[in-house]
A and B are shown apart, each in its own frame.
Chain A
Amino acid sequence: MSNARPEGSGQRTRRRLRSHWAGAPLLAAVAAAKAGAARAEGFLAPAGPVAMAQNVHFWQVTWISMIVVLPVLVGVPLLAWHYRYGNARARYMPNWDFSHALEWVMWLVPAAIVVVLGVLLWQGAHSLDPYRPIASDKAPLKVQVVGLDWKWLFIYPDYHIATVGEMAFPQDRPVQMELTTDTVMQSFLVPALAGQIYAMPGMVTKLNLAADRVGHFDGMNTQYSGDGFDDQHFTAVAMSKDDFDAWLKEVQAKGVALNPMAYARLATSSTPAEVRATFGNPAMPPSVTYFNDVPTDLFGGIVMRYHNGHPMTPADQPGTAAYNTKYSG
């Protein structure tokens, strides 16, 4: 999909008080009119090699399975109609309950299809393994992703910058991601580009993706994580190499420093729009916040916080009420 999130979607308090049931019929009419114009979205309109392969695999599985699905869709209504009680012309064999030939067909046809689908599955699981680097003659761009309540923090370790609300990358280079969270478990997904992977505190998972055209793509957390979950979206922006270089300079120039104090505040529960309101300045795009001066191995430090042999107290654990009280300032 290509529409970025509109500004202000994160202003939760305003939104919750609103109720427009009165406009429901009008809304339904407008929506129905739009229904005709519904576009393909997500991995149905793939913009990268992984999502494209997933799309192909999806349709392969669907069509092959039709061999066992269609006989039921067609056969059940036909049987129910033809052998209806009132149809005296239909043959009736009340004691017929077995046929060797039929048994072979019933067991072997689905089994054969599972063999075929199993081969496809095995190949797909390996070729589209999210940990598998994407083949390219260009070195991958490294991005480290930290899931926070309720936004993703994208760290570009080679450039000492970080962003919230937007993940930019050059369209001609694969992106190699490492993911963790500094709160509860989350799951990272950009449907138009690649599949999702869980992100968990104290653990690191990996994801590889790439775009084969420039564009804005919706990304999100898919694992429910609390009140602001539905606002945990961002825009993945695939851009030309020149644009990306310009973007890097812009972030480095306009960003705010992500020092430990800033990170502590960033980790409180907030939506991308709220982060922008706290840290941002007018030079940043709506709902997007740029950071620079990111400490070396901020990501590794976040992961290791959970391996120091001490229990987490509520005041130390981002995502808890006590932490929010302490650091919201």
Chain B
Amino acid sequence: MTTDFWRIVFGRLDLGALDFLTAFRDPTLNEIILSGAAWAVILGGLAAVAVLSRYRLWGPLWRNYLVSVDHKRIGIMYIVLAGIMLVRGVLEGVVMRGQQADGLGGGFLSANHYAQLFSTHGTIMIFFMAMPFLTGLINIVVPLQIGARDVSFPMLNSASLGLTVAGAALVMISLVVGAFSTGGWTAYPPYTDSLFQPGPGPDYWLWSVLLAGVGTTMTGINFVVTILRERAPGMTLMKMPMFTWTALCTAILMVFALPPVTVSTAMLLLDRYAGFHFFTNALGGNMMNYANLFWLFGHPEVYILILPAFGVYSEIVATYSGKRLYGYGSLVVATMSIAVLSFTVWLHHFFTMGQDADMNAAFGIATMLIGVPTGVKVYDWMATMYRGRVRMTVPMVYLVSFMVLFVLGGLSGIILANPSIDFQVHNTLFLVAHFHNMLIPGLLFGMLAGYTYWFPKLFGFRLNDRWGYISAWSWVAGFVLVFFPMYVVGLMGMTRRTVAYTNPAYQPWMILSAVGGVFVTVALASLFVQLYVSIRDRAFTRDIGGDPWDARTLEWATPSPVPAYNFAVIPHVHAREAFAVAKEAGLGYQAPPAYADIHLPGDTWMGVILAVFGTAFGFGMIWYMWWLAALSFAVMAVAFIGRALRGDRAGVIIPAAQVAAEHRAWLAAVGRLAPVTREHEQDGINHGVAAPETREVAA
């Protein structure tokens, strides 16, 4: 009777699932690392609670962030989430490098622990680092670039964030309670079927990805509508900044590419929970249908990841070259081509399935075709630097390193696109090196460049340059050292996901790769040191004028930090790079003839409700605590439908007089500041008003 009662309450959860206790029972290095990670999550959470309580920050956190629908605040929360997950993802990567350096016939990790590491590493980096980071940047920048007050559906935006947080929370909880999946970030059945993996591991993966996937689909819808409907008057599609174009393409891809993974995830859940046979070995199940559905999402997904980074690069290359972006039309066409072609190549992830040569060749050629618009983009950025005045700021270090490294990744991509060669290097470390080569210089460098570039716009001070350079160069060195050796051992036939190996020829390369792990750790730590130093020294890098980089697009025509309503008066747009054109004409800082009341959407608890009860729902499903799952789902459903019926009753009106006062005060401050030349861009005298030096045509 009592046993049954506890089984209903706790489902299949028992004390043995508590990872932070295992090291006390079995103190080997493997278990100590396992428990240590659990303790890091617990203590990290407690430390955050303590700091928030000590400095009485719960109130401001709740009012200014958690219930806010301000796109900038939501963007910041996305990036904070990405930062936390980046720490875990990188450290897991470094532990894996250590293991493989030591992996000649052994190592210090168990095979199961290693498999959990590569599974969580991939899942976290894709779904809970890269996606939140780019979603955060899009949230922050797009409404500003198109001259809008907010996104089209502010409550939905908060809800998307809530679901993403719930997914991330489940992955973090898996460190403390139970084990994560060992099926990799792709979770191929039948390995992840309940027959082979009856435990909670694959369920952690499935519910995390399902929740985050629904959130991402809603984000996609939100930004497609926002970009198509909320642009300032005069901003035609072909006057949009490149970052907004890439955001549009990414949002479209999210709308069309996320449903396949939501469906394949739901189907695998039905297999696992309800005895269905979509992907099982027997009864007509077909695991390759999962591979098809997953990669029908998975390949557009890599362009979801890379396109916003391309957008960042397009913005910074023009700004830091002091020059118009070369080949805008080409870049738009290239971006759109990539978005469309991305749906035609998914089969190249399994050339080795046994389909016929015609099919492999068709998908291989489609894959190589994507190289054309991608190459054009790189050439366009080079042409933008040509006859420019290039300042090697931190974002430019990322850009230049990206261009050099990315084409090498492109080369390995072209190699992999050939089915006959792919048969050799598929599933080897060559493949691992390839996609890290695309995603680290491509996505991560782009995101970090964007973070550095737009940081002052949000917080009103610039990031520290010294630590920025240290971090950027460490990322570059670390990336090269970690992943180039993998190309070599991959060509030699070393498989991915192998905890150990017996071929001594691999080990020198794996040791080199582990040395790279040290650089990557330094790079990660430097980012946090940079943030600390920047906050400490913020008095010296104050951005008041709002234009610290002599930048070109509309978001720089606002004060830093940007007010909640973004623009005092919605601007009329007459040109691409509207702010650069206005500055050239001497009209960068104009007082409008009149101000009007501004309507802003009201706060909502929806994000918090979905984050908390989404996590509880997932946890309940994973551990078979059906009462918890049902209760949480009911709360979410009632809250969401109720809010939809009720509408936004908390809207805010900012009176015209207040807007006028704030805007005039800012214009007066701009008038008092001395404009700085680019020579002093990184100095203490740069307070965000640019001298017009780069706007004259030299001989």
CB distance from A292 to the nearest CB of B (A): 29
Q: A39-B505, A96-B323, A224-B115 are in contact. Are A69 and B408 (CB under 8 A)?
A: yes
- A103 touching B191 by the CB < 8 A rule? no
List B512-537 residues whose CB lies under 8 Å from chain A.
512
- Given A15-B500, A224-B497, residue A98 in contact with residue B326 (CB < 8 A): yes
Mind listing 7 A-B residue pairs with CB under 8 Å?
A: A76-B385, A80-B390, A106-B327, A198-B354, A311-B282, A311-B283, A320-B196
Q: B380: which A residues are within 8 A, CB to CB?
A: 106
The stretch among A3-11, A162-170, A240-248 that forms the contact with chain B is A3-11
- If A114-B368, A226-B182 touch, whether A312 touches B282 (CB-CB below 8 Å) is yes
Taking the closest CB of chain A, its distance from the CB of B242, in whole angstroms, is 12
A43 on the interface (CB 8 Å rule)?
yes
Collect the chain B residues with CB atoms within 8 Å of residue A202's CB: 281-282
Q: Pick from B287, B288, B417, B695: contact of A94, CB below 8 A.
A: B695
Contact of A206 among B188, B354, B499 (CB under 8 A): B354
CB neighbours (8 Å) of A194 from chain B are 423
Binds B, one of A17-25, A151-159, A251-259: A17-25
B631 CB within 8 Å of chain A = no
Binds A, one of B103-111, B618-626, B645-653: B103-111
Question: Within 8 Å CB of A308, what residues of B?
Answer: 282
Interface size of A in residues (CB-CB distance below 8 Å): 123
Indicate whether A9 sits within 8 Å of B502 (C-beta atoms), given known contacts A196-B424, A222-B427: yes
Q: Which of B354, B404, B497, B697 contacts A229 (CB 8 A)?
A: B497
| 0/1 string, B389-433, CB within 8 A of A gives 1 | 111100010001001100110110011011111111011100000
Give the interface of A toward B (CB within 8 A): 1, 3, 5-6, 9, 12, 15-21, 24, 27-28, 31-32, 34-35, 38-44, 51, 53-54, 57-58, 61-62, 65, 68-69, 71-73, 75-77, 79-80, 83-85, 90-99, 102-103, 106-107, 110-111, 114, 117-118, 120-122, 124-132, 183-185, 187, 189, 191-192, 194-198, 200-203, 205-206, 218, 220-230, 233, 305-312, 314, 317, 319-321
Q: B195 on the interface (CB 8 Å rule)?
A: yes
Give bound CA distance, A196 to B385, whole Å: 44
**Proximity bits, B350-374, A CB within 8 Å = 1, else 0:** 1011101110110011001101100
Tell whether, in the assembled complex, residue A92 and residue B698 are in contact, meaning their CB atoms are under 8 Å apart: yes
Q: How far is the CA of A18 from the CA of B106 in the complex (A)?
A: 7
Partner of B364, one of A84, A121, A184, A321: A121
When chains A and B are docked, how far (Å) is the Cα of A150 from the Cα of B199?
Answer: 20
Chain B: minimal CB distance from A37 (Å): 9
With A31-B507, A96-B324 given, is the CB distance from A118 to B368 under 8 Å?
yes
B190 A184 Cβ-Cβ under 8 A: yes
Q: Which residues of B contact A1 (CB under 8 A)?
A: 492-493, 503, 505
Bound: A61/B696 CA distance, A: 45
B192 nearest CB neighbor, chain A only: A184
From 19 to 47 in chain B, residues with beta carbon under 8 angstroms from any chain A beta carbon are 28-30
Q: A54-B421, A97-B326, A184-B196 are in contact. Are A114 and B511 (CB under 8 A)?
A: no
Residue of A24, A121, A233 with most chain B CB atoms under a 10 A cut-off:
A121
- For the complex, is B508 an interface residue (Cβ under 8 Å from A)? yes
**A62, A83, A192, A307, most chain B CB atoms within 10 A:** A83
